[in-house]
Structure 1
Amino acid sequence: MMSLKVTQTRSAIGSKPKQRGTLRALGLGRIGRTNLLPDRPEIRGMIAKVPHLITVEETDS
């Protein structure tokens, strides 16, 4: 099954509260923090809301 390795690369300071909430829902909160998430439409939608704050890599896990 495909997984997504999501890493926060920029600070959430100055971003909107909904975007900060999305980062928390993705399991992030600090620059450099990484989380492995399943490749599902719900996760892809959250990633689409904060592409300027994160980087995404696809992995096989």
Structure 2
Amino acid sequence: MAKKNDKKTIKVTQTGSPIRRDKAQRATLTGLGLGKMHKTSELVDTPEVRGMIQKVHHMVTVEAEG
């Protein structure tokens, strides 16, 4: 029997521009796998990723996955 992947994931989509933002916020977007408008990245839901999302919450939207 195959193991089911039990890790929850979230989809993060960039909705705001990093123009006129500080370097730390730009680096956070890059760390999330984003960098261009409307790009979506699927990430494992961990406290570290949630903290990164909180740092740039005004430039991203989050969708919960199963």
Question: Does the TM-score normalized on the shorter chain lie above 0.5?
Answer: yes
Greater percentage in strand: 1
Q: Give me the CA root mean square deviation.
A: 0.6
Gaps of 5+ in 1: none
- TM-score norm. by structure 2 comes to 0.88
Paired residue secondary structure (2:16): coil
Gaps of 5+ in 2: 1-6
- Deviation sequence 1:8-55 (CA, Å, 0-9, x none): 001000111000000000000000100000000000000010000000
Asked which structure has the greater CA Rg, the reply is: 2
* Identical columns (%): 50
Instruction: Give the structure, 1 or 2, with the largest relative contact order (CA under 8 Å, sep 6 or more).
Output: 1
Runs of 4+ in 1 over 4 A off after TM superposition: none
- How many residues align? The count is 60
